[in-house]
Chain A
């Protein structure tokens, strides 16, 4: 009787115990945890000397919104799961040729590249599945303001109307996502770990739940 009660309490505690939160890793683990997903992502410099932030949010593909919010309010996240993953703050795994590489442990699940520091990609972005027990390689992502200030050619050609460029905080960011391909930097210490390229699919829309400016991600590979 007592043993059964203790077993029930233990089971309840397991259910109620919160999942571990997002963790930006500064070194490569020797073994990947089976209950965690890992994302490897390279983020280009915003402007010389300044770096970007990118937020990933759990995505409800059917409702086309962030889980637990707006059209997906009826699909909340389990307690303790990451409701957002910020890429950018924290020490990167490495930095090379104006690109920083991050390895981040997150709650497994489907995520959308939801917004930069200033802009929601509410009018079209990309979603992918971050599977447990492996590294999902997101490739390289470039983000920059649409005012010609980006050092990356794919973004530097994008401009806003002159009156918008003259206003403070009114210029939206553009985002170009390059899926992983041979030639992208992979830290030598994680070559032996299980790693799959992210399978990106279009995320046609999402709500502007963080009150940002609006834009749509460029097509994969930055094609016009």
Chain B
């Protein structure tokens, strides 16, 4: 299973959010096991998202073909990260989580350490009451 902590692009809003590029999900009052299950399910569902296949570009020159392939690969990677981020946010929103802005330093602290440590911290933070304004889902 793909843990959320292994997907930094998911929680960093690669596309750039107008309010904050750093955020976490919040839903105080849930059992902690439920939060962990929701994190895992959304990671699993969103982690397999694939962008549509780009049409091939014919280039007779092998170097040109390699360059086109490299650039298409880079673009496809960025698109995939964006789509995974969007899918993850949708999944968490449908499960009732609010998206809350945080600072870059808070994000660094949240995502430090091993995958299990990050997962536990993300769940703990989701359960804490927050007075911060909500972002769009």
Q: A residues engaging B (CB < 8 A)?
A: 120, 122-124, 160-164, 166-172, 207-208, 211-216
Q: Identify whether the interface residues of A are mostly helix, strand, loop, or mixed.
A: loop
A123-B94, A161-B135, A215-B94 are contacts. A172–B87 as well, Cβ < 8 Å? yes
By a CB distance below 8 angstroms, the chain A residues around B136 are: 161-163
**Contact segment of B48-56, B60-68, B116-124:** B48-56
By a CB distance below 8 angstroms, the chain B residues around A160 are: 86, 137
Contact pattern, B 125-137, Cβ under 8 Å of A = 1, otherwise 0: 0000000000111
- The reply to whether B86 and A213 form a contact with Cβ atoms under 8 Å apart is yes
By a CB distance below 8 angstroms, the chain B residues around A166 are: 15
By a CB distance below 8 angstroms, the chain B residues around A207 are: 45
A160 to B87, CA, bound (A): 11
Task: Say which residue of A163, A208, A215 sits within 8 Å of B48 (CB atoms).
Answer: A208
By a CB distance below 8 angstroms, the chain A residues around B44 are: 208
Q: B residues engaging A (CB < 8 A)?
A: 13, 15-18, 44-46, 48-52, 79, 82-83, 85-87, 89-91, 94-95, 135-137
A171 to B85, CA, bound (A): 11
- The reply to whether B17 and A163 form a contact with Cβ atoms under 8 Å apart is yes
The residue in B13, B16, B82 that gathers the most chain A C-beta atoms within 10 A of its C-beta is: B82
- The reply to whether B90 and A213 form a contact with Cβ atoms under 8 Å apart is yes
By a CB distance below 8 angstroms, the chain A residues around B13 are: 163
By a CB distance below 8 angstroms, the chain A residues around B50 are: 211
A135 to B91, CA, bound (A): 35
Q: Which residue of A lies closest to B86 (CB)?
A: A170
- The reply to whether B90 and A215 form a contact with Cβ atoms under 8 Å apart is yes
A147 to B78, CA, bound (A): 21
- The reply to whether A168 and B79 form a contact with Cβ atoms under 8 Å apart is yes
A207 to B42, CA, bound (A): 11
- The reply to whether B51 and A172 form a contact with Cβ atoms under 8 Å apart is no
